[in-house]
Chain A
Amino acid sequence: MTEPTHHHPLAESLSALMDDQADEMELQRLLKASESDAELKATWSRYQMASASLRRDLPATAPSDFGARLSAALADEPALGAGRGSALNRWWQNAGRVAVAASVAAAVIFGVQQYGGGSAPVGGEAPAMAESERSELRPSASAPAGFQSPALNARPVSAQSGFDGRSQQARQVIFEPRQANDQIPIEQIRAYLNLLIDEHTDHASFNSGQGMLPFARAVVGETDEADAQEALED
C-alpha cells in the first residue's frame, strides 16, 4: 500500500490495517471514523479494491474467467428434466461463484464480528460499509496478528492461554437486533444463546443421523455459568 494519504490523521492506521498490522484499537478507531468520514471511507474502499485485485492475481485462486467459462459450459448442457429442473438450476447458476463465495463467507462473518465485538454498534444496520465492502475485509482471513485481540476473546476459556483464538472467535455468537439499539446487553444475549445452542446440539446429534459430529459445534465450558444464569434477567 503505497498511495500517500499523509493528509489524513488515520492514514497510518489504515495503511497498517491493509498490511494486517493494525491492532484492535486502531481498527475500532477506523471503524468508528469511517461511519462519518466520507474521505476515509472512500480511501478504505479504494485500498480494499486494490488489495482485492492484487489477491485475484494470486495463482492459487480461481482464474478470473473461471466463472465465465463454467457458465459457457453450463449453457451447453442439455436442459434438465421437467419437474426437477428449477431447483437444480438455481443451484447450478451459482456454480462458478462457489469457490469464491466459500471464502467470502468467512470474511463477511468476520467483518460483522468486528462490529459486534467492541463498543461499536451491534448489528447489520449499524455498519457504515456496504456488505460488499465488508466482504473485502478478506485480508483479515489470512490470520493478521492484530485482529486476534484479547478484547474479542473475553470468555474465560480464551483467557487461559495464548492459543490461537481464531476458533473461539469463529464460535462467537453474532447477534443482529431487528432494531438498532445500543443498549442491548450483547454479552448476556451471547451467553444465553450459547446455552441454547448447546442444548440444541443434543437434539441435532440425536436426530440428524450424523452421530457425535454435531457435538463439535458445542462450546464446552466457554459460557460462564454465572453469566448464563444472569442472562437477560435485567
Chain B
Amino acid sequence: MIRVFSFTPLILAWALMLPQAVSAQPETAEAKRWLGQMAQSNRELSYQGLFTYEHGIALETFKLTRWVDQGAQYERLEHLSGPEREVLRQGLAADCQSAGDQVRHGRLTLSDGQVADLGEYYYLDMAGQERVAGRSTRQVQIIPRDTYRYGYLLDVDEDTGLLLRSLLIDEQRRVLERFQFVDIQLAPAQAEIRLEPRAQLFRQANAHPSPCNPTALTQPDGWHLDWLPPGFVFSGQQTVQDDTEMLMYTDGLSTFSVFLAPADGDRAIEGRAQRGATNAYMGQVAAGERRFRVTVVGEVPVQTAEQVANGIVAEGAQP
C-alpha cells in the first residue's frame, strides 16, 4: 500500500507537467545539458549517500560511497537491508566516457554517417523543480517516442548535477522501479583508501565492460543482429561465464545485453523472464551445425528483447 501512496503524487506531477513541457520545445536542449552534466558528475564527484530502491512491492536501502583518486573512480555500494552484501567497482578512469555517454553527447557516428541523437528516440523535457534528499533538483522527463524502450523521470541536483532520483516508467505509465537518495554528502573524508570487500557476499563489478570514448560505431564479432530497435548502438562485446559471448547495446539511456552460449545437446528452452524492472527473453539460434542459447536481457520491454533474440544470426550463416 505504501507504494501506492508514494508514487501517486509523482506520477500526477509528471502527468500534469506534460502539456507545459510540450509547448516549450527549447527545453529539449536544456534537458540534454542536464543529462550531460549528470553523467559527468557521476564520473567526477566524490560523495557518500543513502538511497532507497523500490521495485515491485519491495523497498531496499543502500549506502553508496564513491571517490575519485588520481583520476580513477572507486565505488562501494552496500546493502543496508537484508544480508550484508556489497558491490565494489574500481579503477575506471574519471574521463572514460562510455558509448552511452557518447550517444547522449551526440559524439557517436553511426554507420550511415549520421550522429546518434537521443532526441530522435525520446521526447526530452524539463519538468520543473523538485526537492530530493534536502536538495533542489531539476526534473528531466524522458518519454520514449516508440514502444521499444521505457521512459524515465530523473531528478538532477541543481548544484552538482548528481542524479538524486530516477524512475523507470513503462508504456502504460506504471513505475517499474525508483531510486531515490535520502541523504547525500559531497566530498566526504576519504577514509577508504583501499577498496577491500567488507561483506561476506560481494561482487567485484567489471568497471568497463565496453571501450572508453568510442567515436564510431563498431560491429559485433561472430554475430549479427537482423533487427535492432532504432537508436540502439552496439557498444561492446566480451566473454563471460567462460564460454558465453555478451554483446552490449545502448541508446544512451536504456541498455540491453545479448548472451550467446553453446547449447549443443542441451534442452531447447524458450520463454520470457522478468526480474524486477529487468526483462529477458531466452531462445535458440543455430550456427551451422552448432546450436546456441540466446538470451536477451535488459531494462527494455520484453517484446523488444524477444524481437532482438529472434533476429540474431551467426556471421556467415545463410539467412
Q: Residues of A with Cβ closer than 8 Å to B?
A: 60-62, 70, 77, 80-81, 84, 87-88, 90-92, 94-95, 97-99, 101-106, 109-110, 123, 141-143, 157, 160-161, 163-164, 166-179, 184-185, 189, 192-221, 232-234
On whether the beta carbons of B173 and A197 are closer than 8 Å, the reply is no
Can you add 6 more A-B contacts, CB < 8 Å, to A106-B56, A173-B274, A209-B253?
A166-B58, A178-B272, A193-B273, A193-B280, A200-B257, A213-B51
Q: How far is the CA of A173 from the CA of B38 in the complex (A)?
A: 31
Complex contacts, A91 vs chain B, CB 8 Å: 18, 143, 151, 173
Give B54 Cβ to nearest chain A Cβ, in Å.
9
On whether the beta carbons of B98 and A213 are closer than 8 Å, the reply is no
Within 8 Å by CB of B87, from A61, A88, A142, A212, lies A212
Q: How far is the CA of A103 from the CA of B174 in the complex (A)?
A: 8
On whether the beta carbons of A202 and B205 are closer than 8 Å, the reply is yes
Main secondary structure of the interface of A (DSSP, over half): helix
**Nearest 8 CB-CB pairings of A with B:** A221-B201, A207-B100, A170-B56, A211-B42, A170-B58, A167-B58, A177-B271, A207-B250
Q: How far is the CA of A179 from the CA of B270 in the complex (A)?
A: 8
Complex contacts, A209 vs chain B, CB 8 Å: 35, 38-39, 42, 100-101, 104, 163, 252-253
Give A76 Cβ to nearest chain B Cβ, in Å.
11
Contact with A along B3-14 (1 / 0, CB 8 A): 111011001100
Complex contacts, B100 vs chain A, CB 8 Å: 206-209
Known contacts A176-B271, A209-B35, A213-B179; is A204 also within 8 Å of B280 by CB? no
Known contacts A166-B57, A208-B250, A212-B77; is A88 also within 8 Å of B275 by CB? no
Q: How far is the CA of A217 from the CA of B275 in the complex (A)?
A: 9
Within 8 Å by CB of B143, from A88, A170, A184, lies A88
On whether the beta carbons of B62 and A216 are closer than 8 Å, the reply is yes
B59 at the interface (CB under 8 A from A): yes
Known contacts A193-B295, A208-B253, A221-B203; is A176 also within 8 Å of B272 by CB? yes
Complex contacts, A141 vs chain B, CB 8 Å: 1, 3, 57
B298 at the interface (CB under 8 A from A): yes
On whether the beta carbons of A206 and B3 are closer than 8 Å, the reply is no
On whether the beta carbons of A157 and B83 are closer than 8 Å, the reply is yes
Q: How many A-B residue pairs have CB under 8 A?
A: 277
Complex contacts, B241 vs chain A, CB 8 Å: 195, 199
Give A186 Cβ to nearest chain B Cβ, in Å.
10
B81 at the interface (CB under 8 A from A): yes
Q: How far is the CA of A216 from the CA of B312 in the complex (A)?
A: 30
Q: What are 10 contact pairs spanning A and B, CB under 8 A?
A: A87-B145, A98-B12, A167-B81, A170-B55, A178-B271, A193-B275, A196-B257, A197-B275, A217-B276, A220-B86
On whether the beta carbons of B58 and A171 are closer than 8 Å, the reply is yes
B75 at the interface (CB under 8 A from A): yes
Q: How far is the CA of A143 from the CA of B247 in the complex (A)?
A: 39
On whether the beta carbons of A212 and B75 are closer than 8 Å, the reply is yes
Within 8 Å by CB of A80, from B11, B22, B280, lies B22
- Cβ-closest chain A residue relative to B1: A142
On whether the beta carbons of B79 and A220 are closer than 8 Å, the reply is yes
Known contacts A157-B83, A178-B270, A199-B257; is A206 also within 8 Å of B209 by CB? yes
Contact with A along B153-196 (1 / 0, CB 8 A): 00000000001001000011111110100000000000000000
Q: How far is the CA of A179 from the CA of B272 in the complex (A)?
A: 11
Complex contacts, B210 vs chain A, CB 8 Å: 203, 206-207
Give B174 Cβ to nearest chain A Cβ, in Å.
5
Q: How far is the CA of A62 from the CA of B86 in the complex (A)?
A: 38
Within 8 Å by CB of B83, from A62, A87, A160, A200, lies A160
B116 at the interface (CB under 8 A from A): no
Q: How far is the CA of A207 from the CA of B275 in the complex (A)?
A: 20
- Cβ-closest chain B residue relative to A142: B1
Within 8 Å by CB of B259, from A142, A164, A177, A199, lies A199
Give A124 Cβ to nearest chain B Cβ, in Å.
8
- Cβ-closest chain B residue relative to A206: B98
On whether the beta carbons of A168 and B82 are closer than 8 Å, the reply is yes
On whether the beta carbons of A109 and B267 are closer than 8 Å, the reply is no
Complex contacts, B163 vs chain A, CB 8 Å: 209-211, 213
Give B74 Cβ to nearest chain A Cβ, in Å.
11
Q: How far is the CA of A90 from the CA of B51 in the complex (A)?
A: 32
On whether the beta carbons of A232 and B267 are closer than 8 Å, the reply is yes
On whether the beta carbons of B275 and A212 are closer than 8 Å, the reply is no
Known contacts A61-B4, A106-B3, A203-B255; is A212 also within 8 Å of B56 by CB? no
